[in-house]
Structure 1
Amino acid sequence: MFIFTQILPPDASGVSHYTLSLTADDRTRSRHRFTTEEGETVSLNLPRGTILQHGDRLASETGETVLLVTAKPEPIFTVTAHNPLDLLRAAYHLGNRHVSLEITPDYLRLSPDSVLKSMLQQMGLQVIEEIAPFFPETGAYHHHHNHE
């Protein structure tokens, strides 16, 4: 079993040997055992608090094996509105409930929850159930690596 201990810089050379598709929640698990797309059991032993991003590449303890992290499609709600202010109000109310939320100019995404779905629909928003990659905000004070 390979143990991955470091995130490679974006400009690091080398071919990825394995692909690990993770849900948004799984990408917050810095010390956990997973199975790659190729069926290999791997273990992550990254610094606590690490949040992995789609496209991150991890190196094994020896540095010889490279793992590509991808965002695994998962059940989500995509919320849209007729105008930006309604979407902003929805983000405010969901934030007050400490809901993990993906925020874009055109839609919000969140994990499925029937109570929240009802609240959003009562606010006049459209809620669509989908299977898609989920990229929630990490928070204003959370330290994370950024490849931009």
Structure 2
Amino acid sequence: MRTIDKRIEVKLAAVLIKRAPTLTLAFDDRCKSRLATTLDNGEEVALVLPRGTVLRDGDVLVADDGALVRVIAAPQEVLVVHAHDVPTLTRAAYHLGNRHTPVEVGAEHLKLEADPVLEDMLKRIGAHVEHATLPFQPETGAYGGGHKHGHDETFVEDYALAQKVFDEHHGHAHAAGHDHGDHSQCGHDHEHEGHEAHEDHDHDAHGHTHAHR
């Protein structure tokens, strides 16, 4: 079995890339640095990449014998989120980011892996959600800590509603405390999948609402 252990960071001639065998992977598998998988030509290979590597559509990898392999993002079940106005789409992006959810950002839409809890939350804050089967390439490196500030009444109402939806699905409502889990861009942080969901907290000091991520 050949081992694929490098990703090429420089641009190669198109003819070389075109001739390379392809490896089609969904997003979750493109997050794995250690993976036994199969090229599209049927050859079994082992991915052994630096930890933290997230492969994207079009990446070119190198096997231990020097051969090239081109990565293709596999179509998968996703949610495509639209809104009737920019503030609603922005709020949708905020609530997804506050839960460390991998999101692909388009000019007028958001895309995320299909999840019924998130779908319910998005619909309740006024977003339009469609199911589709498409390649998924979320933003990278954008799921760390920090604060978001809401200064209008509508934002506060949406924020409270979003938390209420999660409390209904997870059967808990914590008044205080933080749970600092994995802030990785890969995978889900929902309790129904074995991970603790990050709680949101409203603070009214100085007339601002601070959402801790």
TM-score using structure 2 length: 0.62
Structure 2 unaligned segments of length 5 or more: list them: 145-182, 184-213
Cα deviation, residue 9, structure 1: 3.1
Distance in structure 2 (CA, Å) of the matches to 1:92 and 1:31: 32
Give 2:147's aligned residue. none
Task: Return the match for 2:120 from 118, 137, 145.
Answer: 118
The equivalent of 1:54 in structure 2 is 57
Secondary structure, aligned partner of 1:25: helix
1:35-76 Cα offsets, whole Å, 9 max, x none, are 11111111111111111111011111121x111101000000
Q: Distance in 1 between matches of 2:11 and 2:76?
A: 29
**Distance in 1, Cα, partners of 2:127 & 2:102:** 18
Higher percent of residues as strand: 1
Alignment of 1:61-76 (within 5 A): 61-63=64-66, 65-76=67-78
In structure 2, the residue matched to 1:6 is: 6
Which of the two has greater helix per residue?
Answer: 2
Spell out structure 1 runs of 4+ moving beyond 3 A: none
1:27: which partner in 2? Answer: 30
Rounded Cα–Cα distance in structure 1 between residues aligned with 2:141 and 2:11: 26
Partner of 1:146 in structure 2?
none
How much identity, in percent, do the aligned residues show?
42
Which consecutive residues of structure 1, in runs of 5 or more, have no partner in the other structure? 143-148
- The CA distance in 2 between the partners of 1:33 and 1:76, in whole Å, is 24
- The normalised TM-score by structure 1 is 0.88
Tell me the CA shift for residue 5 of structure 1. 1.1
Moved more, 132-141 or 110-119: 132-141
**What letter corresponds to residue 17 of structure 1 in structure 2?**
A
Cα shift at 1:101: 1.1
- 2:42: which partner in 1? 39
**d(CA) in 1 for partners of 2:8 and 2:121?**
42
Contact 1:10 1:56 (C-alpha < 8 Å) held by counterparts:
no
| Paired position in structure 1 for 2:197 | none
Q: Which has the larger radius of gyration?
A: 2
CA RMSD, Structure 1 to Structure 2 (Å): 1.7
One-letter amino acid of the structure 1 residue matched with residue 52 of structure 2: G
CA distance in 2, matches of 1:25, 1:99: 13
Other-structure match for 1:102:
104
Structure number with greater CO (CA < 8 Å, separation at least 6) is: 1
